[in-house]
Amino acid sequence: MSQIPTIQNVNITPKVFAVGIGPDFGPITGLASPADIGDNELVQGVYGLYYKGIKFGTVYELIKINEKHVTKEIAGYVIAMISAAKNDGVELKVTSGFRTMQEQSELFKVRNTARPTSKPGFGSHQTGIAVDFNVYADNGRVYEWLVKNAYVYGFIRTVPNERWHWEYWGDWVDQLRPQWAGGKTNDTNILKHRRLAMFSKVPKIHACGDRKFGGNLVMYESGWWTLNGASGEHTDSSTEGATNSWIGYSNEFLPDKLDREDPNWNKRKF
Ligand SMILES: [Zn+2]
């Protein structure tokens, strides 16, 4: 790999539509209805970005990926990741991307304990850098692929008890950071986006799950816990979720597995 994927050099269809409803959107221009927008197509509007209840920026362009919207600035990395996974025989999908204030409010109304939802304005999906993936698909192969490869594209896990939740904190020298996300070029920005490495937010060694099993955070929905059901064979299941969330479906601690299979797995760069 030599070229950092950006929205300019990945294969998107630059078809422009404008849509909009609700307070975070600009005027509806009538170019197309949202239903007419296909995957990898551009959606234009006016969308507020929020962090801890404070509006810190606005984006005007989203890319539709798997029926979800991703801010254009990070969509190039997501699309490049999906296509690299496909080359490895893994079907990586976005299950949640950027959420408008209206979408976060709707989700908050129907929240449940398996999939927690933050108050409107406080959800990380309103910051524009968070993406959820289908980590439990294909008996955990998708999760393993992400653990091995996502950091190369600037994505790291940031919530210990949510395997599906990844955020763009690009770690490489030339990796682009969205201007609105702040950092050195814009230190008035409250998000203060800075480069973070793989285990910056979710440490390599940690324990999630029920306190009586040694965990310190309730392990939210684990797909393979559910998949394995009553078998109780998987750590997440036998300990009611008390687990190191870097453990994969195979019950193996993935960083060790990857170290063994390819000692340089975490030193790759574009
Ligand atoms: Zn999420």
Q: What is the pLDDT of residues 109-144, one digit of tens each?
A: 877 666 678 888 888 999 999 999 999 999 889 999
Phi, psi of 237 (to 5 degrees): -85, -50
For 55-63, which contacts have Cβ atoms below 8 Å and span 24 or more sequence positions?
55/121, 56/180, 56/182, 56/189, 56/190, 56/191, 57/128, 57/180, 57/181, 57/189, 57/191, 58/180, 59/98, 59/128, 59/180, 60/26, 62/97, 62/98, 63/7, 63/12
Q: Tell me if 128 is assigned to some domain.
A: yes
For ligand 1, the distance from its centroid to the CA atom of residue 138, given in whole angstroms, is: 20
Return the pLDDT at 4.
73
Query: Above 70 in pLDDT, residue 189?
Result: no
For ligand 1, the distance from its centroid to the CA atom of residue 4, given in whole angstroms, is: 24
Q: Tell me if 25 is assigned to some domain.
A: yes
For ligand 1, the distance from its centroid to the CA atom of residue 223, given in whole angstroms, is: 15
Question: pLDDT-derived band of residue 35, with 50, 70 and 90 as boundaries?
Answer: low
Q: Tell me if 256 is assigned to some domain.
A: no
Higher pLDDT among residues 177 and 245, named by residue = 245
Q: Tell me if 97 is assigned to some domain.
A: yes
Q: Write down the H helix ranges in the chain.
A: 72-87, 101-109, 141-149, 223-228, 235-238, 254-261
What domain range includes position 165?
13-203
- Mean per-residue pLDDT, 243-256: 91
Query: Above 70 in pLDDT, residue 88?
Result: yes
For ligand 1, the distance from its centroid to the CA atom of residue 166, given in whole angstroms, is: 7
Return the pLDDT at 227.
63
For ligand 1, the distance from its centroid to the CA atom of residue 133, given in whole angstroms, is: 8
The model carries a pTM of 0.88
For ligand 1, the distance from its centroid to the CA atom of residue 164, given in whole angstroms, is: 7
**CATH number of the domain residue 140 falls in:** 3.30.1380.10
Return the pLDDT at 195.
84
Q: How far is it, in rounded angstroms, from Cα 193 to Cα 180?
A: 9
Q: Tell me if 212 is assigned to some domain.
A: no
For ligand 1, the distance from its centroid to the CA atom of residue 30, given in whole angstroms, is: 31
For ligand 1, the distance from its centroid to the CA atom of residue 31, given in whole angstroms, is: 30
Q: Tell me if 259 is assigned to some domain.
A: no
Return the pLDDT at 84.
93
For ligand 1, the distance from its centroid to the CA atom of residue 116, given in whole angstroms, is: 9
- Mean per-residue pLDDT, 184-197: 68
Least confident of 84-88, 98-102, 199-203: 98-102
For ligand 1, the distance from its centroid to the CA atom of residue 64, given in whole angstroms, is: 17
Q: Tell me if 250 is assigned to some domain.
A: no
Return the pLDDT at 194.
82
Structural domains in the chain (count): 1
C-beta of residue 155 within 8 angstroms of C-beta of residue 98: no
Q: Tell me if 233 is assigned to some domain.
A: no
